[in-house]
Amino acid sequence: MDWDIRNYYEYLVKEAINERRLYKAMTEDELMDLLCLTLNQLPAKYIRYHIDMVNSLTVEQRNKLDIEVTHALDSAFKYLASNPRQE
């Protein structure tokens, strides 16, 4: 059986990180922390196929998801900036 299920917010958060080019300013460990901290603030929205989600969302719904991701990402980034990793 194929259990290829994923959280749609993972795609959206990774997309936002790429759009901000944070991968240029952060280490891989910092990016993974940022991704986890951001996703922990968002509800799970599980999907099987990305295309199904894209086709079922209205513009308003996608905008709402983008705003949620932006707020969560900003919050996670501020947290990491004020609590750097202790190696």
In a domain, 57, yes or no: yes
Owning domain of residue 26: 6-82
Which pLDDT score is estimated for 87?
67
In a domain, 87, yes or no: no
Question: What's the predicted TM-score (pTM) here?
Answer: 0.88
Which pLDDT score is estimated for 55?
84
Cβ(13)–Cβ(35) under 8 Å? yes
Q: For the chain, how many structural domains are there in total?
A: 1
Distance, in Å, from the CA atom of 72 to the CA atom of 77, rounded to the nearest integer, reads 9
Burial label, 72 (beta-carbon count in 10 A; 0-12, 13-18, 19+): buried
In a domain, 1, yes or no: no
- 44-67 pLDDT, tens per residue? 999 988 887 888 899 999 999 999
In a domain, 69, yes or no: yes
Q: Three-state secondary structure along 36-64?
A: HHHHCCCCCCEECCHHHHHHHCCHHHHHH
In a domain, 42, yes or no: yes
In a domain, 46, yes or no: yes
- 1-46 pLDDT, tens per residue? 667 889 999 999 999 999 999 999 999 999 999 999 999 999 999 9
